[in-house]
Chains A and B, each alone.
Chain A
Amino acid sequence: MKKCKFTNNDLLNYCYGQIGPKKAIKIKDHLVTCHQCSSKVRAFEEIISLAKEKGKEKTPANIFDNYTQEVLDKVAEKEKLPLSSLAQERLSNLAENLKFIFSPKLVPVAVVASILILSFILFRQSKVNLVEVVNQEVVLLEQLGEYTEEILLAQNGEILGQELELTDEIIFARLEEEAEAEEIFSDFQLLQELEEYIISDDISDDLEMLDELELEATIS
């Protein structure tokens, strides 16, 4: 069977006047040629008009006798009621509702629901436990990492200390060497000066002066 381009919703929108004028014209034209859609629209319209007629039906003549006064009396009665009795009324309503909840027919449903809830809680609990274990392991690993780092640092420190000591020794040795070298150098300089002094004329003058002084001493 050939399918129509208009859906039930289009036809219902048309029946309820919830459609734009352009589409309404299109549907109207379509209904002239499509027996299937036109019979659907007729059926919907019949239901709607029937409901409208039903809504317009007159109520029994005496239905409103004393209606408003009764409402006022009930309002006054309710206002006079102490709060506790209003609460009691509400409680009795609640109890009536609860009666249905606790009816024996609902016991199997309640049991199945409890089992489902319990298994869900257990499943969730096991999931939570697993997460806790993993977290603990992560913490342990972190602690281990920190510890390893500390050890490495300590070891490095020791090595550094040793190296520093060694460096100090080397430095001291070098300093000593340098000091020695300086002493040698100054001695060497003195020697050089002495040599120069010996080579120079000064020493002969000095020797002559010494000879003269010796002579004077022997004479005196």
Chain B
Amino acid sequence: MSNYSESEIIERIKIGDSGAFCELVDKYKQKALNIAYSFCSNYEDARDLSQEAFIRSFGAIKRFKIKSKFYTWFYRILVNICKDYLRRKKRSNINKTSVYFKDKDGSLEPEDIFEHVASDSPGPGKSLLNKELKEKLLRAIESLPFKQKTIFTLKNMHGLKINEIAEIMRCAQGTVKAHLFKATVNLQNKLERYVNIDNTGGLR
């Protein structure tokens, strides 16, 4: 890795230095792949989506202003690509309606999302640590509306700050928090049987 700062790397890319672009790809490919994976739960697709984001950002880098942070700009491109991917996927899923049903907030949820889990789960709280339940969480996240899903994953799985997410999503920080809270409550409701909550005191 060179000693150039990120803004210098970008300036070099702008004048057509492909080596500089390689540096940028190497720096962000892990993060990009992880973000894409949280949308598609499939490493092959995640790889393609993250690569597509790099290709598009290379095409548009001349319009990028050094004043803003590169990664928020790049993540916005990536999130939009993932959004398109999910839209296409949703359309193909609509054609296979037998597999899916609509839940109360209008999002699509796989029918078998909690299938057979209640019977063999070892107990609330502890059970969340196992891999199977992490997969359940991922599938529950998948069933959230797009904004809630994006904001929840960017915040909790990729450690971005509220203000950075607001920049990526082009909305107010208050809106980000509202979606984040709604997503957490929705996930808690979806995974109610497996997380540690008192049955008498349901969520308001």
Residue from B47, B187, B195 within 8 A of A67 (CB atoms): B47
A72 CA / B23 CA spacing, docked (Å): 11
Establish whether residues A59 and B30, one from each chain, have CB atoms under 8 Å apart when the complex forms. yes
CA distance A9 to B185 in the complex (A): 10
Chain B 116-138: CB-based contact to A (< 8 A → 1; otherwise 0) = 00000000010010000110011
Question: Given A50-B134, A63-B43, does the pair A43, B25 have CB atoms closer than 8 Å?
Answer: no
Chain B min CB distance to A14 (Å)? 11
Q: In the complex, A147 Cα to B37 Cα: how many Å?
A: 82
Closest to A34 in B: B201
Known interface pairs A18-B177, A55-B38; A8-B204 also in contact (CB < 8 Å): yes
Residue of B nearest to A86 (CB): B59
Pair B156/A48 contact, Cβ less than 8 Å: yes
| Residues 135-178 (chain B) with a chain A CB within 8 angstroms | 137-138, 141, 152-153, 155-159, 162, 177
Q: How far apart sit A22 and B35, CA to CA, in the bound complex (Å)?
A: 35
A74 CB–B CB distance under 8 Å: yes
Which A residues touch B51, using CB under 8 A? 67, 70-71, 74
| CB-based contact A50/B43 at 8 Å | no
Q: Judge whether A43 and B156 touch: CB under 8 Å.
A: no
Interface pair A78/B59, CB less than 8 Å apart: yes
Cα(A57)–Cα(B181), bound, Å:
24
Q: CA A96 – CA B91 in complex, angstroms?
A: 11
Q: Choose from A1, A55, A100 the contact partner of B157 (Cβ within 8 Å).
A: A55
> Which residues of chain A have C-beta atoms less than 8 A from B156's C-beta?
48, 51-52, 55
B35 to chain A, nearest CB (A): 9
Cβ of B134 and Cβ of A47 under 8 Å apart? no
- Chain A residues near B91: list those with CB within 8 A: 100
The answer to whether A59 and B198 touch across the interface, beta carbons within 8 angstroms, is: no
Q: Which residue on B lies nearest to A60, using beta carbons?
A: B43
Does A39 sit within 8 A of B, measured CB to CB? yes
* A33, CB-defined interface residue at 8 Å: no
Interface size class of B (residues with CB under 8 A): 35 or more
User: Is A51 within 8 A of B33, CB to CB?
Assistant: no
Say if the beta carbon of A31 comes within 8 Å of chain B.
Answer: no
Q: CB-CB < 8 A to B43: which residues of A?
A: 59-60, 63
Q: Which of A1-44 contact B (CB under 8 A)?
A: 1, 7-9, 12-13, 15-16, 18, 35-37, 39-40, 42-44
Find out whether the CB atom of B157 lies under 8 angstroms from the CB atom of A52: yes
Contacting residues, chain A, for B33 (C-beta < 8 A): 59, 63-64
Known: A43-B197, A64-B29, A68-B25. A51 touches B125 (CB 8 A): no
Tell me the bound Cα distance from A9 to B174 in angstroms. 12
Report how far A71 CA is from B200 CA in the complex, Å.
54
Q: Which listed residue (A35, A54, A64) contacts B137, Cβ 8 A?
A: A54
Q: Are B29 and A54 in contact (CB under 8 A)?
A: no
A72 interface neighbour in B18, B152, B181, B184, Cβ under 8 Å: B18
Kindly list the 10 A-B residue pairs having the minimum CB-CB distance in the complex, ordered from nearest. Answer: A55-B157, A36-B201, A51-B156, A39-B198, A43-B197, A43-B195, A12-B181, A42-B196, A68-B25, A71-B54
Q: B interface vs A, CB < 8 Å?
A: 18, 21-22, 25-26, 29-30, 33-34, 37-38, 43, 47, 51, 54-55, 58-59, 88, 91, 125, 128, 133-134, 137-138, 141, 152-153, 155-159, 162, 177, 180-181, 184-185, 187-188, 191, 195-198, 200-201, 203-204
Q: Other than A36-B200, A50-B133, A54-B134, give 10 A-B pairs with Cβ distance below 8 A.
A: A39-B201, A40-B197, A47-B188, A52-B156, A55-B34, A55-B157, A59-B37, A70-B51, A71-B58, A96-B88
